[in-house]
Structure 1
Amino acid sequence: MGSVAVPSDMPATSSAEPSSGASNSPNSPSAEGSGNAEEEPTATPPSPSDSMAPQGKVTALRLADFKTRWAGGEGWIARTDDSGKSWKSQLEHKHIVNQLFALNNLEVWATLDIGDSKQLKLLHSVDGGAKWAEIGYVPNYSFLHFVSSEEGFSGNAHTKDGGKTWSKLPQPAVIAGDAYFHDRNNGWAVTQNKDKNTLDIVRTTDGGKTWTTVLKRTTAASVTGTVIRSAGKKDAWVELIGDSGMSQTSYSLFHTMDGGKSWIPVLANNQAGSGPAPGYKTGQESKVPSNTGSSPGALYVVNPKVAFMGGQCMACDLPNTMGKTTDGGKTWINLSSKFPGYGTQLIAAADAEHLWWINTDNAEPSIIYTSTDGGEHWKVTHTFDKPQPTTE
């Protein structure tokens, strides 16, 4: 596919098709319903010239294809070319990696949290991560994605020189969360009225000069945050995050494939402790599916038909779960596997079948799980060392 057509949550290159299906060896139980994934056979040790990835909590993940990925954490960036079995350290630094974005298996960007609440340091590599250059700063903490080597977006920030300089695209005056631009013309945002009892999903097709309401909903819950992803100029997945209480957070997910003319209500997660999902009334029987877990996990959009979303339950022994749709949100499938880890989830997928799922923890190891059958079965591919204790 051409570089300008790469959606924000799709791999930049087509993934090589691994052999399908997971092993069902009696000595390697599947993960279904147990929280125990099948252990991957020990990978061939790297040569002495290869250095293993620095260990600790994983904070960022990005794929070029199912085998080639980058991960980052506190003070390190590393790459794998064998689906995560072994890792090579590419860069050591003194900051936390906030995000990674790969346009292909050679060109990749990384943002570093330098303790500045308004901007992130931006690194760039054109040789697969062998060498990294500091090229500037991203002026916000929004979702960073590039559509070519030169053009990229982070919220309403726009670069035309690979991230060296940024300008601002117009966005609605009263906005909930961040705006999202699929390309220089097409963007999406969420607004809510002063009383926060009505929300609007709005769209622009002229680079933010004008915004048009494409979905209006009466809501009992205010929108406290949004996650917007797009797999095409007329495609948008809009996650609305609501109130929190009793270790629960309510949220909803809507999807359009025709520029907002019609919408599919994909998820409505109402919680006893946090109230109704945004876009719904108190006590309303929505008949919309709900995801597992009591709060939202990571959302990963593969294409207009396929999306995965994690769920988390911080009061549960196995907090991490996942659901998916393969028909654009018309139906939702809650997968049965549950895994440990009380930190941030990281999800990436090459297609509907081949997934990576990293569950993290502040005290326990980050673990990489991979699936080749759409999340029905999982293998433990790599376990990082425990994070180093914080010293005062």
Structure 2
Amino acid sequence: MNLKKKSINRSLRILIILVLLLPLGGIGSGSLATATSTTVCGEGDHGLLQQLQKQHQVEGQSALYFTDIQFLNDRIGRASGNGFIIGTSDAGCHWQEIYTGQWQIAQIDFSNNKNGWALATLPSQQKKHLIQTSDGGSHWKNANTSITFDRIDLLNDKEGFGYTATSAYKTVDGGENFTPIPTPVNNRYAFFSDMKTGWSIVVIPSGGYKVMKTVDGGKHWSLKLKVAADSHNGGEIYSNGNQVWAVLYGESGMSQVSYSLYGSTDGGSHWNRVIAQDTAGGGPAPGSGKAIVSKGPASPGGHPGNMQLIGKSTAFLAGGSPAGEVVSVGSSYNGEKSWTNITPSIEGYDARISFTDNKKGWLAVVNSSTKSVVYMTKDGGVSWNVKFSFMK
């Protein structure tokens, strides 16, 4: 009897040890190898993607660089690039290879840790394909559509949107079918925050912009903002509940971009001109009236990147200045009432951001084979720490 007890106790001890050795909070399917425990948090490339880097060198392809970043929460995130996706389950301290292959990833969008979409091209091709994964990004398949999307946005596993330069489409079956959404004439940028509520930036042929809103899935549109301008180069719009922001472009030149940023926290009933960036190369910013600030993040002549909206009134805008070779962020914590551009301290030309709350976020220096780095902030962008770097 004692021998039997000793055998059971030994088996239990072995089982406990094995459980303790299992990785926690993995990315995707859970079958991917994690970075070694000896890797120092946030230093270098963590020994990843070495084979892919050598392959690019042999074949004369571009060095590896980032194109997009997305964090689902304050620990789990992914960063994509030209032929790869890496992921972290501890806020960027350690990383693992999720995907390496032929797809040159332009945008990623995951609804949860397993199901996601991406826009990607094949080597030496320009056409963007919509591809889908159900194992966290390890394996991808072409979606059942012939539409060439410029942007994608997932609401959940079944519902999502795809956008071209002038049109919007929706799916309610996980991308098996896409249905066109009616948009205003001369639409140049649409965005839907749910299946009913959407926004459109409409160009006025003679110059200027209209911002339109729908609350019935595109059946009817109403005018929410009209901005006079000599140009009509389009823009971008972001919304989260009643918080809405519109980036309206002027002209560009000498690596500089003129643009205005308008904000609203009451669903578009009232707007404020927050940024009005005039540049020597791009001329005056669209609109009129005093703005809160005369420059966007990352000067001189910084290009606006993507925005992230948190809650009812927090907004972050990425910016990159090819002329100044810096990237940075600007932010507001009370909607359109104030704006702060944080002094650039990061080398780069363009940036993508992903914030999970009003302080914690990640920034990827994108489309640069010489400055490809992922940074993390815990203070809203005032200070940044390196979490992954291809820099030599």
TM-score above 0.5: yes
Is 1:163 aligned to 2:163, yes or no?
A: no
Indicate the residue corresponding to 1:271 in structure 2.
279
- TM-score normalized by structure 1? 0.78
Is 1:341 aligned to 2:348, yes or no?
A: yes
Residues 92-241 of structure 1: matches in 2 within 5 Å? 92-114=100-122, 119-125=128-134, 127-137=135-145, 139-155=147-163, 156-175=168-187, 177-196=188-207, 198-219=208-229, 221-232=230-241, 234-241=242-249
Indicate the residue corresponding to 1:17 in structure 2.
none
Question: Which is worse superposed, 95-104 or 307-316?
Answer: 307-316
| Matches of 1:262 and 1:168, distance apart in 2 | 30
Cα contact 1:231–1:301 (8 A) shared by 2: no
Cα contact 1:254–1:264 (8 A) shared by 2: yes
Cα contact 1:109–1:122 (8 A) shared by 2: yes
| Matches of 2:116 and 2:286, distance apart in 1 | 35
Indicate the residue corresponding to 1:389 in structure 2.
none
Corresponding letter in the other structure for 2:182: P
**CA 1:72–1:355 in structure 2 vs 1: closer, same or farther (change >3 Å)?**
same
**CA 1:89–1:73 in structure 2 vs 1: closer, same or farther (change >3 Å)?**
same
2:296 to 291, 303, 306: 291
Unmatched tracts of structure 1, length 5 or more: 1-38, 387-392
Cα contact 2:260–2:285 (8 A) shared by 1: yes
> How far apart are residue 134 of structure 1 and its match?
3.5
Cα contact 1:124–1:135 (8 A) shared by 2: no
**CA 1:253–1:53 in structure 2 vs 1: closer, same or farther (change >3 Å)?**
farther
Corresponding letter in the other structure for 2:89: D
- Deviation digits for residues 250-305 of structure 1 (CA, Å, limit 9, x no counterpart): 0111122222211122211111221111123xxx6545453232132322223231
Indicate the residue corresponding to 1:354 in structure 2.
360
| Matches of 1:137 and 1:60, distance apart in 2 | 23
Indicate the residue corresponding to 1:300 in structure 2.
307
- Deviation digits for residues 150-191 of structure 1 (CA, Å, limit 9, x no counterpart): 11012311111111221110011112x221112221111122
**CA 1:249–1:43 in structure 2 vs 1: closer, same or farther (change >3 Å)?**
closer
Question: Which is worse superposed, 242-251 or 284-293?
Answer: 284-293
Cα contact 1:138–1:154 (8 A) shared by 2: no
Structure 2 residue matching 1:153: 3-state secondary structure: strand
Residues 309-348 of structure 1: matches in 2 within 5 Å? 309-316=317-324, 318-342=325-349, 344-348=350-354
Unmatched tracts of structure 2, length 5 or more: 1-39, 54-63
Corresponding letter in the other structure for 2:238: R
Cα contact 1:302–1:350 (8 A) shared by 2: no
| Matches of 2:226 and 2:44, distance apart in 1 | 52
Cα contact 2:315–2:333 (8 A) shared by 1: yes
Indicate the residue corresponding to 1:30 in structure 2.
none
| Matches of 1:372 and 1:84, distance apart in 2 | 12
Indicate the residue corresponding to 1:68 in structure 2.
76
- TM-score normalized by structure 2? 0.78
Structure 1 residue matching 2:94: 3-state secondary structure: coil
**CA 1:89–1:52 in structure 2 vs 1: closer, same or farther (change >3 Å)?**
farther
Alpha-carbon RMSD: 2.7
Q: How many residues align?
A: 335
Structure whose residues are more often helix by fraction: 2
Corresponding letter in the other structure for 1:161: D
- Deviation digits for residues 301-328 of structure 1 (CA, Å, limit 9, x no counterpart): 2323111112222222x42122111111
1:372 to 372, 375, 378: 378
**CA 1:287–1:347 in structure 2 vs 1: closer, same or farther (change >3 Å)?**
closer
- Deviation digits for residues 209-251 of structure 1 (CA, Å, limit 9, x no counterpart): 12111112222x313121111112x432111111012221101
Corresponding letter in the other structure for 2:386: V
Cα contact 1:186–1:204 (8 A) shared by 2: yes
Structure 2 residue matching 1:329: 3-state secondary structure: helix
Cα contact 2:316–2:332 (8 A) shared by 1: yes
**CA 1:193–1:107 in structure 2 vs 1: closer, same or farther (change >3 Å)?**
same
Cα contact 1:291–1:323 (8 A) shared by 2: yes
Cα contact 1:345–1:359 (8 A) shared by 2: yes
Structure 1 residue matching 2:363: 3-state secondary structure: strand
Corresponding letter in the other structure for 2:175: G
**CA 1:93–1:51 in structure 2 vs 1: closer, same or farther (change >3 Å)?**
closer
Corresponding letter in the other structure for 1:190: I
Indicate the residue corresponding to 1:16 in structure 2.
none
Question: Which is worse superposed, 103-112 or 324-333?
Answer: 103-112
- Deviation digits for residues 100-150 of structure 1 (CA, Å, limit 9, x no counterpart): 11212333222212477665232222x433544443347243331111211
Cα contact 1:347–1:356 (8 A) shared by 2: yes
| Matches of 1:85 and 1:263, distance apart in 2 | 40
**CA 1:64–1:306 in structure 2 vs 1: closer, same or farther (change >3 Å)?**
same
Percent of aligned pairs sharing the same letter: 29
> How far apart are residue 54 of structure 1 and its match?
4.8
Corresponding letter in the other structure for 1:203: K
